[in-house]
Amino acid sequence: MAPAAVRGHSVVYAPRIQELLAREEKVFRIDATTVGVSDCDLMAEIVAARPVLATERSVYKPAAGAEIHHDSATRTIRALGQDVMAGIRTPPPPARGLSGAWPYAPTSYLRRWLFSSDPLPVSLLSKRGVTRSDTLSRIVDRAVTVWPGSPAGGGCTALAEQIRGASGTRDRKQAIALYRRATATLCDGVAALAGNALWLMGPAREEEGARADLTTVLWETLRLLPPAWMLYRKGGDAYTGLHPEIRPTDNVALFPLLMHRHPDYWSDPLEFRPERWAGVADPEKTPGFMPFGFDGARCWAKHLVVPLAERLLTVAFDNRLVIRSPQRDAEVPLRSLLSVRFDAATGA
């Protein structure tokens, strides 16, 4: 079910992803303890069978030796929303920051755009050079725990204010973990989505009118190359009886990537057709479409991702971003986020 070519160029998947795309069955065994599912109705039943566990969430899994409470999660979502809305209303950084290897260049660009107002050492929490090193991350975490930056009113983000206003060492450590996870999840996801959209648009992105409706381009990108391409659920009795293949001891992997490409749910499923979303008031109500998860387990930042990705693409188009990779193929490695890899440069 993988397209051989999209608008004149190809997407080359990591072997394990390609193996999944080649499967025709909607319920299949991956290994002795894991069952894969791409059936729309069964996926809905699995998600509805029990609440998502804290350890199954990317952002709100336990931190500092304790679970993240609902009120802390809610405050973080609201703070991040404030920061994103405030950030995209400000002029973007110099577009040269989008030149380089994608999706890494736009990830760093977004972090600089949205969170550069935070003082040291808080601003280091979202630096890619720091987040890639466990040692540096621990050092910065300790520094922020001791000194979380300037007093309120210094122009820092709402997320940073949560760190400064935390009461006690454990609460501050949790606020630090939430800051790092929230900024990373948002920026990584938006960068992956924007990069996937640029590649899927192909040479047509340079044609007049290519940016006429970037929203439909992004929804179609979320269908063909959803960054959150797999959801994992630990096994248990809640799934017993939902399908003969699923045993009580089996973990379950849900694959939006496969469901989004299945002909039972989509016409011309392997074709990149943004026009299929024209006039669709609420794309998430489309059967067989799960870009941000199901009710009760939806991505906490879903209301921010598409508008921010559209704003990022607008900056890229305004500054004549050109994909300069000599290959006609873009690789998709096996990572938690599904994202194509290519080099790009701005003309500005």
**What pLDDT was estimated at residue 8?**
60
**What pLDDT was estimated at residue 294?**
64
Q: Give 259-262's long-range contacts (Cβ < 8 A, gap of 24+).
A: 259/38, 259/39, 259/40, 259/43, 259/288, 259/289, 259/290, 260/223, 260/224, 260/226, 260/288, 260/289, 260/290, 261/1, 261/2, 261/21, 261/224, 262/1, 262/26, 262/38, 262/288
Q: What angle do CA 237, 239, 242 make, to 5 degrees?
A: 135
For residue 345, name the pLDDT band (cuts at 50, 70, 90).
very high
**What pLDDT was estimated at residue 4?**
44
Sign of the alpha-carbon dihedral angle for 315, 283, 217, 288: positive
Q: How far apart are CA 181 and CA 273, in angstroms?
A: 33
Specify the range with the lowest mean pLDDT, choosing from 26-40, 61-75, 302-316: 61-75
**What pLDDT was estimated at residue 2?**
46
User: Which tops the pLDDT comparison, 267 or 300?
Assistant: 267
- The DSSP element (H or E) to which 111 belongs, if any, is helix 104-115
**What pLDDT was estimated at residue 330?**
86
Specify the range with the lowest mean pLDDT, choosing from 16-25, 53-62, 97-106, 242-251: 53-62
What pLDDT digit, counting tens, does each position of 99-154 carry? 999 999 999 999 999 998 888 889 888 887 888 888 998 999 899 998 887 665 56
**What pLDDT was estimated at residue 7?**
55
**What pLDDT was estimated at residue 6?**
55
For residue 37, name the pLDDT band (cuts at 50, 70, 90).
very high
What pLDDT digit, counting tens, does each position of 71-81 carry? 888 899 899 99
For the ranges 54-63, 107-116, 209-218, 321-330, the maximum mean pLDDT occurs at 107-116
**What pLDDT was estimated at residue 327?**
67
What pLDDT digit, counting tens, does each position of 40-60 carry? 999 989 988 988 887 787 777
Average pLDDT, the chain: 87
